[in-house]
Amino acid sequence: MKLSSLITDNVTELLVKIIEFTQTRQKLLARNISNSHSPSFTPQDLAIDEFSELLNKAIHEYIRRQQLVLCDTENIKFGISGSFEVKPVVDRYAKELLEKSRDEYLELQINKLLENSLNQKIAVELLRQKQGMISIFD
């Protein structure tokens, strides 16, 4: 099921964006782990702070004007029909850590996956409650 087909209001749209963002990030973090043995590999992540700031501005604007405004940023672009695209960025800290200690690097990636999974589960549960307990992963 395409998540954007669930959008019925502004809150739902934000929750769907969070779920899509965390799904994309999960794949990227898993790739960071699986490619960590490649000699020329450079770890990537999504622009978390940029996404968070974007959502905060959208919520603030919604509170002020009752209108959800999602603006493009350098790494996040919004398209038609609720779609959006996120561009991975180089994770410089992870890259330095990978060069220094593979174990610490893997621990960082696993912790990011755990945090991301929690964020995704919260958004999914809020969306389920909002949509009347439907399952979005069928």
Alpha helix stretches (DSSP H) within the chain: 10-34, 48-65, 92-100, 102-130
* pLDDT score recorded for residue 133: 57
* pLDDT score recorded for residue 4: 44
- Evaluate the CA torsion angle 44, 45, 50, 51 in order and state its sign: positive
* pLDDT score recorded for residue 8: 52
Instruction: Write out the chain's pLDDT in tens, 138 residues.
Output: 454 444 457 888 899 999 999 999 999 999 999 999 999 999 999 999 999 999 999 889 888 988 888 899 999 999 887 788 999 999 999 999 999 999 999 999 999 999 999 999 999 999 998 888 555 454
* pLDDT score recorded for residue 107: 98
* pLDDT score recorded for residue 130: 87
Phi first, then psi, for residue 83 (nearest 5°) are: -80, 160
* pLDDT score recorded for residue 41: 96
- Tracing tokens 């990636």 back to the chain, one arrives at 109
